[in-house]
Amino acid sequence: MKDSKKHIRRFLLCCLFVSLFILFVEGIDKRFTVKARGGMDILFAVLWLCMEAEAVWRIRRITAKEGFAEYIKFNKGEFVYLLLSCITLILSFAAPDLAWGRWIILLKMPNILRRYNDENVFQTIAKIIAVFLIAFFIIPFLNVLANAISAPGQIINITPKKIDWFAMHYVVTDKAFLRSFGISVFVTVVGTAISVLSMAMAAYPLSKPDMPLKKTMMMFFMIVMLFSGGIAPNILVVNALGLMDTVWALIFPSVVMVYYLLLLKGFYESIPLELEESAKLDGASNMQVLFKIVIPMAAPMIATVSFFTAITYWNNINNSILYISTNRDIYPVPMYIKNFLGQNPMEIAMNNPTLLTYWDGIKRSYVLMSIVPIACVYPLIFKYLKNDISAGAVKG
């Protein structure tokens, strides 16, 4: 008895997913031949009849046992589906324009899924969604990769054809690009160091329970997060400080990122106060308590925040657009790529015809190279990211 029920459940689930898949495919692709469409319609009708037969059987069984009112109480969706489905099925054969009416199959869905009242179904559905999401992000990446390393003049989806390293070789030996790469690395490393250090220091007094003027300081930082002076005043200030056209203009304006400051504060609050107090009893100064005890305890959160800060610095193109006007030697990577892509292809064709042939590949190679450093750092930091991204959030 139990076994047959299980088989019926599985069969129903298959019916549901296959028919949903058919609906989906028909919906997004209009180019099917009439024959294929007819075949799919018939398959759909068969699946649907199976589900209807099951629904009718359920009605009979429950009505016989507990009465019709009891059935309606819990299965309104299924009943509506049963009534409407006859009409829509006939309509979809008679008038193909009304085929969208078949989406009422969704009414049946909760009924089928509810019978799988266990973790496995949830896990399976979550995994399917995850696979779709991963594909969504990895396919464009594969396309870029394939374009970068294959010979020009072909249509390329996600697999490279006729591998040709010219574009990659050009990018790796491009001196100006390598210099901008170095600038970017410098900005990222120094900027992350300054930013994380100042944020880790500022978050410590904010996390103390009996710190005077704590609310005022919180307000001070919240205002930084919420409001800004706009583009023109920022440029004026950077200019007045004499930072225009220097590397420091890429670093200083985005040192304080209040969101990460709050993350750090939340994590500090979860560190037991007794540790600090016992260190104080042994004669440690505030500086020593912070750097010898609190920051090592908060290492996971520090690592996470550093990673995010580094990504922000690496991808930051705003600062270079606003604060670097003439000095091309200190373009960071995003700005260099933007500048390179903005060139007129005809001019390049005059100077160097081979370059124009490989134009697409070279563009993709630049993009690919700009991913490399973050991709290198990610595995190192991954073990921290896995657990502790929300660890400080509970205390808020």
Partner 1 sequence: MKKAKNGKVSLRRQIKQNGNLFLFYIPAVVFAVLFSYVPMLGLVMAFKENPNLLGSPSAIQGILDADWVGLENFKKIFSRPEFLHALRNTHETHERQ
Q: H or E element: which one contains 101?
A: none
In terms of Cα–Cα distance, which of 86, 84, 90, 115 is closest to 16? 115
Give the residue with the Cβ less far from partner 1, 59 or 217.
217
Q: Does 233 bind partner 1 (CB under 8 A)?
A: yes
Cβ 269 to partner 1, closest distance in Å? 15
Cα separations in angstroms, 280 against 12, 38, 205, 271, 284: 67, 81, 15, 15, 5
Interaction between residue 352 and partner 1 (CB under 8 A):
no
Of 236, 273, 393, 394, which lies in the binding site for partner 1, with binding defined by CB under 8 A?
236
Q: Is 196 exposed, middle or buried (0-12, 13-18, 19+ CB in 10 A)?
A: buried
Number of residues that bind partner 1 (CB under 8 A): 39
Within residues 85-114, the interface with partner 1 by CB under 8 A covers: none
Q: Give the nearer residue to partner 1 in terms of CB position, either 286 or 325.
A: 286
**Subset of 243-272 contacting partner 1 (CB under 8 A):** 252-256, 261
At residue 212, the 3 state secondary structure works out as: coil
Cβ proximity to partner 1, 153 vs 229, nearer residue: 229
Q: Which is nearer to partner 1, 63 or 246 (CB)?
A: 246
Q: Burial of 313 by CB count in 10 Å (0-12 exposed, 13-18 middle, 19+ buried)? A: buried
| Residue type present at position 284 | A
Binding of partner 1 at residue 37 (CB under 8 A)?
no
Q: Which two tokens stand for residue 226?
A: 């919420």
CA distance 46 to 40: 10
Read off φ and ψ for residue 129, nearest 5 degrees. Answer: -60, -40
Nearest Cα to 373, choosing from 176, 167, 91, 181? 181
Evaluate whether 301 touches 264 at the Cβ level (below 8 Å): yes
Considering the rule CB under 8 A, would residue 197 count as an interface residue with partner 1?
Answer: yes
Give 201 or 389: the residue with its C-beta nearer to partner 1: 201
Q: Is 172 in the site for partner 1 (CB under 8 A)?
A: no
Binders of partner 1 among 204-223, rule CB under 8 A? 204-205, 208, 210-212, 217, 220-221, 223
Q: Does 325 bind partner 1 (CB under 8 A)?
A: no
3-state secondary structure of 150: strand
Query: Interface residues for partner 1 in 281-300 (CB under 8 A)?
Result: 285-286, 290
Contacts with partner 1 by CB under 8 A lie at: 194, 197-199, 201-202, 204-205, 208, 210-212, 217, 220-221, 223-224, 227-230, 232-234, 236-241, 252-256, 261, 285-286, 290
